[in-house]
Amino acid sequence: MKWSAMTPEQRNALVAEKVMGWTPKECNGEIGEQPISPDGWACQKCQYRGYWGDDTTHAEVPMRYSEHIYCAWQIVEHFRIHRFDVHVGSAPLQYDVAILNRRMGGKGYTASAESAPEAICLAALKAQGIEIEP
């Protein structure tokens, strides 16, 4: 798989499934008005968006792990809770992430990307045994 050829939605679903154990299912979130459009609605749980008059039944959208640091940090916490060391560093043109497994003698998984969320996602996928081309 090539990361750069995937859409953000595909990236987020891959990380959600392979790293966080998410499985697609129908969402049970409440529907509210979108703040950016009086014509549309957004699910308050997963942020799926639709227009008034559309069926509000929808599949749950995974968190935007590869797009937002708040979401990506959930991955860092996931690994931390499972006793991995996670190091996030920055350089002038990229972010570097290392995930170290103490139980396996400090085996490490590293990744670099232009954004911290993407670097976290790529390192997490590697730690799960999934190799992704940049």
pTM to 2 decimal places? 0.83
Say if domain 3-22+63-127 classifies as CATH 3.90.180.10.
no
Burial grade of 110 (CB within 10 A; 0-12, 13-18, 19 or more): middle
Tell me the per-residue pLDDT of 90-132, one tens digit each, with 9 for 90 and over.
999 999 999 998 777 778 999 999 999 999 999 999 999 999 9
In which band, very low, low, confident or very high, does the pLDDT at 34 lie, cut at 50, 70 and 90?
A: low
Amino acid identity of residue 37, one-letter, is S
Task: In whole angstroms, give the CA distance from residue 81 to residue 79.
Answer: 5
Structure confidence at residue 18 (pLDDT): 97
Residues of the chain above pLDDT 70, percent: 96
Indicate the Cα dihedral angle 51, 53, 59, 60, nearest 10°.
50
Domain spans in the chain, listed from the N-terminal domain onward: 3-22+63-127, 23-61
